[in-house]
Amino acid sequence: MKWEIERSILHGVAVAAMVAVGSSFVPGTAQAWEPTKTVEFIVPAGTGGGADQMARMLQGVIQKNKLMSQPLVVINKSGGAGAEGFLDVKNSKGNPHKIIITLSNLFTTPLATGVPFSWEDMTPVAMLALDEFVLWVNASSDYKTAADYVNAIKAGNDNEFKMGGTGSKQEDQIITAALEQTTGKKLTYIPFKGGGDVAAQLVGNHINSSVNNPIEGVSHYRAGALRPLCVFDSQPMPYKDELVNGESWSSIPTCKQAGLDVEYLMLRGIFMPPGVTDEQVAYYVDVFKKVRETQEWKDFMNKGAFNTTFMTGDEFKSWLAKAAETHKDLMTKAGFLAK
């Protein structure tokens, strides 16, 4: 019922907008689509997390450089591990004034909770970046390389090693499950509220390891409290700025090189509701392309050691299909599917 009301309001707004556009339309000049009112930027996570930071960063860059003619407003819809936000977009069919930023819960939440949505229920716009994951241990521990740590896990008992992570049956626990499958030993996975908490728990020696993003661990790394062992990517990170003792992000080996054949990257992508036109999608693709050119964005990518792969259109869609498959596979093997 609520949706119908909203839809009819939207319809009314759309008609009004068309009339407005029509009256100011200069015949003969082909105008591309532009938003006619405030655009909602949905974050399917709480305030303060990684996705929220990126969304507000994007809002700031777009506002400062005047990349959009209408305001962009960030709205958090974090209920049910993000399901609330995705369902909102899925149910806003044809609304071009709504975009959503994704994290891995795009794939994991429907599988883990059974709430019905998938990436195919929305219109993919662009992949903005990929978040890297690094295997961290406390700097006072004896594990100097990923191989040391893996061997210790293999030599120890089931559940002897504690892995801390953010959320349950999300990216951190999926990587943990992949580690378990590679080492053949069970790890104790302890879910915490946020990445900062996890890093602090590791510094305080309450857990043995974590798979924090680079930005969550970097300050403790530079202060000599944490040690990065390997990165879960196919190649080392490209960032060569010195962090501490002549080491940089690029000096961290991949986990595969270290004998731990696990790869995981988290999508930071933009989606729109289903049923929008190609012209509307093209508008947002263009906006985000401009965002990528700004110095602020480049600095942000550099600070967070993001993988800056950018994709749109069919390329992005086939990447998504493959990622969805990988998640389903990993989560099925780990027994994370909703019953």
Give the footprint of other proteins on this chain (CB under 8 A): 2, 46-49, 52-53, 56-57, 59-61, 63-64, 74-81, 83-84, 87, 112-115, 159, 162, 167-170, 173, 188-194, 196-197, 199-201, 203-204, 206-207, 215-216, 218-220, 222-223, 225, 296, 299-300, 303-304, 336, 338
Q: What is the DSSP letter of 106?
A: H
- Tally of helices (H runs) and strands (E runs) in the chain: 11, 11
> Smallest distance from the beta carbon of 228 to other proteins, in angstroms?
15
> Smallest distance from the beta carbon of 193 to other proteins, in angstroms?
7
> Smallest distance from the beta carbon of 144 to other proteins, in angstroms?
22
Nearer to other proteins, 171 or 233 (CB): 171
Nearer to other proteins, 52 or 132 (CB): 52
> Smallest distance from the beta carbon of 278 to other proteins, in angstroms?
29
**HSE-CB for 339 with a 13 A CA cutoff:** 1
* CB proximity list for 290: less than 8 A, separation 6 or greater: 65, 67
> Smallest distance from the beta carbon of 166 to other proteins, in angstroms?
10
Nearer to other proteins, 206 or 328 (CB): 206
Nearer to other proteins, 36 or 59 (CB): 59
The span from the CA of 300 to the CA of 279, in Å, is 29
* H or E element that contains 183: helix 171-183
DSSP string, 187-224: -EEEEES-HHHHHHHHHTTSSSEE---HHHHHHHHHTT
Nearer to other proteins, 188 or 257 (CB): 188
Which amino acid is present at 180? E
